[in-house]
């Protein structure tokens, strides 16, 4: 019952924060498991992006809840926010390795990781919510694969 929940959580915001963190931990575990199978840092980079998309399509309710529906915890401290962005930090570390190995160029891996997550989520969300062209509603992987390819190509582009 709703009343019983309040014996475990002081309010619904705290409950929702716990739900987000559990979902994000599940996502990170999935990403880590898949990335371990890749040999090179560029394969790891591609794998983490593909795995994020796959997890979202396998768990659309969780993905939409965490990425779109639940409000951001804007009152959290810097240390508290780290648990919300562990997946991003993992992706950033992989991108940094790919840069160090000479596969891609990134002057700001944290920013480029944030761009990748935000843009890839936009592609995924447009499929899940049926906001993309109807011909692509059942072709989510095709759409995300295309985005991932374009993103990886963009990291090799250097305006300097």
Asked if residues 60 and 53 have their Cβ atoms less than 8 Å apart, the reply is no
Residue matched to tokens 């049926």: 130
pLDDT digits (tens, 9 = 90+) for 72-104: 777 777 787 788 889 999 999 999 999 999 999
Q: What is the mean pLDDT of residues 44-69?
A: 95
Helices (H), the chain: 2-5, 12-35, 41-58, 60-64, 78-82, 86-100, 109-128, 140-155
Decide if pLDDT at 17 tops 90: no
- pTM of this prediction? 0.90
Q: How far is residue 52's CA from residue 58's CA, in Å, rounded to a whole number?
A: 10
pLDDT digits (tens, 9 = 90+) for 98-122: 999 999 999 999 999 999 999 999 9
Sign of CA dihedral 38, 21, 138, 153: negative
Q: Minimal CA–CA distance to 70: which of 9, 14, 20, 27?
A: 20
Decide if pLDDT at 55 tops 60: yes
CB atoms within 10 A of CB 7: 8
Structure tokens at 88: 């991003």
Largest CA distance in the chain: 60
Residues 6+ apart with CB under 8 A from 68: 125
């Amino acid at each position: 019952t709703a009343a019983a929940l309040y014996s475990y959580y002081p309010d619904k915001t705290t409950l929702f924060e716990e739900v987000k963190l559990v979902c994000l931990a599940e996502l990170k575990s999935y990403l880590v498991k898949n990335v371990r199978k890749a040999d090179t840092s560029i394969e790891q980079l591609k794998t983490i992006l593909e795995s994020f998309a796959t997890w979202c399509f396998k768990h659309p309710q969780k993905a939409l809840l965490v990425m779109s529906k639940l409000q951001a915890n804007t009152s959290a401290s810097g240390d508290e926010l780290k648990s919300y962005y562990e997946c991003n930090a993992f992706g950033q570390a992989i991108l940094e390795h790919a840069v160090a190995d000479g596969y891609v160029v990134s002057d700001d891996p944290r920013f480029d990781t944030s761009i990748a997550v935000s843009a890839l989520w936009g592609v995924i969300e447009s499929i899940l919510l049926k906001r993309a062209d109807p011909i692509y509603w059942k072709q989510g992987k095709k759409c995300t694969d295309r985005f991932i390819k374009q993103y990886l190509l963009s990291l090799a582009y250097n305006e300097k």
